[in-house]
Amino acid sequence: MKGRPLLHTSYASEMALFNTPAKRVWFGVLLAVAVAVPFLLTDDILQLLALCCVAAIGAIGLGLVTGYAGQVSLGHAFFLAIGAYTAAAISGDPDGRVIGFGVTNMLVWLPAAGLAAAAAGVLVAPLATRLRGLYLAIVTLGLVFIGQHIASEWSSLTGGVGVGRPAASLEVFGYQLATTDAFATRDQKLFWLMLALLLVFALAARNLARSKVGRAFTAIRDRDIAAGVIGVNLARYKTIAFAVSSLYAGCAGALLYTVSGYFDPSSFSLLLSVQYIAMVLIGGAGTVSGAIAGAFFITLLPRLTRELQAWVPFISTQPNEVPNVFQVETILYGVLIIVFLIFEPRGLFGLWVRARNYWKAWPFSY
Amino acid sequence: MTELIEAVLRGLGTGSVYALLALGFVIIYKATRVISFAQPAFMLAGVTMVTYLVLEVSFWVAVPVAAFLTGLLALGVERLAVRPMIGRPAFVVAIITLGVDVAVRVVVNAFIGLDVRNVLDPWGLRTVGIRDIDMQQRHLAAFLTTAALVAALFAFFRFTRMGLAMRAAAYDQEAALAQGVSVGAVFALSWGLAGALAAVAGTFAAAGSSVDAGLWLIALTALPVIILGGLDSLPGAVVGGLAIGVLQELTATYQNHAPWLGGNVSVITPYVVMLLVLLVRPYGLFGTREVERV
């Protein structure tokens, strides 16, 4: 069907991973830009972008359970914590101050972190299959508090509040992924690594979403009773949704602190969960690309407010003055969630759809 | 035995604070079918207003005025952020209130600042005692105030026109609208009431100690309370609040018998109780079971 790229002549072509030429082209362009970016930007921005990629993995996970399957989870911080501590414990120094098993290979600790978190997700799932909507939100909120209590009390694993422990070490079969060498600087390598991982996780999520499982998720989100009536096993698919989402969160949690190298139990507070909810909602619930866009936006927000500070002189960078950048940043989380939900519920993805539709019909876009 | 009774009495004091907060959640839920995660922010805003007002007027004037102002703040939030969302899924509105909470708390924290702020309550840490059993005056005051407020609320819902309208709107919004009830006014009043209750609760939470940014976590404890009592049950909120308060104090008193649970295990007892209750009774002790129609 030359010249009519949007005409699908088979089910397979309609359900393909990149079902329109525009998607193929944009994906190629973005990937090329992303691979080339480390040669153009300074190291501190690259480090931030690497963090964005990791956050995007976590946001895709939350997007699967909240955006696709419609189960509101405020407990993402809990699963991130499980992943982070599993990875840190497995790769930690056996003779150190905190628990460590000395297996530093990333191919071991990353899957282990994901599986540990997924196991926790399966344990929580029975609650999810019994509860709906806001009840589930409150229960998952409770998980965050229980997780935080365990993390701050179990100081032989976590190092205790205010002290913390080193994160997992990035190495594969003895090759250090996070040190400067002849080929590239630490931050360049870090960015490429996280980008590659994001690519793997994002494509996997896309594939899951267009499979039988993904369609079951969407059916549950749109009307769970109707889904049950047409033969979707609710308990089974809600469990799968939680398990996969937690797996993503576990992997993201394991990687998140390898960038800074150190973390402490107070990181995993309710605010972290809110940030991830904000990523999914601001990016666009129910889309993988939206979750990625949201994660980049929210992770870059602190940096953006600092840049903003140069233009808005009354915002201070001193934490003891009012208003300071930290306050502006936190207010922005809240206000952006409100503004997006009221005015553009489809989030950044919705803005993109609007822009696309405008230019598609240009000059007749009214 | 004295230890046990004193723990229960302390629990009734903190439980009263939870009950007031939980009543706010339930009133909003009954009227709008939304759980407002903004309650912690209103509580913090209310108690911060009290700390500023008591410097000018007496405590007895400051608390009602602060409660009124917090009610107005809640009204404003409802009008700006929640009213445009009528007809949208409940969880979207809940997330909006989460956004409101984050934003409002930053502003309030800026007002709290780094100084120690007190509500300058008349009770402090003094106690009243019968024989050898002592109860802190602030806990007694919290309990009595809660009892009075609960009685007033029940009278309001039972005997006034507006209370009847609110009950009607909670039962069936469209039918109430058709009978001439202004559902918008019901929404506004329920948010205002919840805000005012949160301010009073905050004052008692801060009585005898000081106000800091971490106080909002107390308001979140009201979430397990409403799950325990049932999301749409006012008696459930009161009973649940007192029960959680007593349980928490008992855990705090006897947790040294189980050191492996860690230091502050009483902080998370409400959440553990909530998980257990939900496994057995998903709609709480007094909540109405949702009937699903296709």
pLDDT tens-digit readout, A309-350 = 778 777 776 666 667 777 888 888 888 888 888 888 888 999
ipTM: 0.86
Closest-CA residue in chain A for B34?
A134
Q: Do B231 and A225 touch (CB under 8 A)?
A: no
Which residue among A135, A146, A337 sits closest to B268, beta carbon to beta carbon?
A: A146
Helical (H) or strand (E) element with A209: helix A186-209
CB contact at 8 A, A85 and A268: no
- Indicate the residue of B88, B109, B268 with minimum beta-carbon distance to A149: B268
Nearest CB partner across the interface for A146, out of B114, B272, B294:
B272
Instruction: Tell me the CATH class for A38-360.
Output: mainly alpha
pLDDT at B291 over 70: no
Six token digits for residue A1: 């069907």
Task: Give the gap in angstroms from C-alpha B192 to the nearest C-alpha of chain A.
Answer: 20
Cα gap A161→A204, rounded to integer Å = 36
Give the DSSP letter string of chain B. -HHHHHHHHHHHHHHHHHHHHHHHHHHHHHHHS---TTHHHHHHHHHHHHHHHTTTS-HHHHHHHHHHHHHHHHHHHIIIIIGGGTTS-HHHHHHHHHHHHHHHHHHHHHHH-SS-B----S-TT-EEEETTEEEEHHHHHHHHHHHHHHHHHHHHHHHSHHHHHHHHHHH-HHHHHHTT--HHHHHHHHHHHHHHHHHHHHHHHHTTS-B-GGGHHHHHTHHHHHHHH-TT-HHHHHHHHHHHHHHHHHHHHHGGG-GGG-TTHHHHHHHHHHHHHHHH-TTTTTPPPPPP--
Q: Which residue of A has its CA nearest to B284?
A: A135
B276 interfacial to chain A (CB closer than 8 Å): no
Taking only residues 247 to 266 of chain B, the set having a beta carbon closer than 8 angstroms to any beta carbon of chain A reads: 261-265
> Is A27 an interface residue toward B (CB < 8 Å)?
no
Nearest to B100 among A131, A137, A334 (CB): A334
Which chain B residues are closer than 8 Å to A323 by Cβ? 110
Asked if B274 lies within 8 A of A139 by C-beta distance, the reply is: yes
What was the pLDDT predicted at A270?
87
Domains and CATH numbers, chain B: 2-280 (1.10.3470)
pLDDT for B3 equals 83
Distance (Å) from the alpha carbon of B63 to chain A's nearest alpha carbon: 27
Q: A2-56: per-residue pLDDT in tens? A: 677 778 888 888 888 888 888 889 899 999 999 888 888 888 889 899 999 999 9
pLDDT number for residue A308: 79
Q: Which residues of B touch A139 (CB under 8 A)?
A: 227, 274-275, 278
Q: Looking at the partner chain, which of A131, A145, A327 has a beta carbon nearest the beta carbon of B282?
A: A131
Helix (H) or strand (E) segment spanning residue A172: strand A171-172
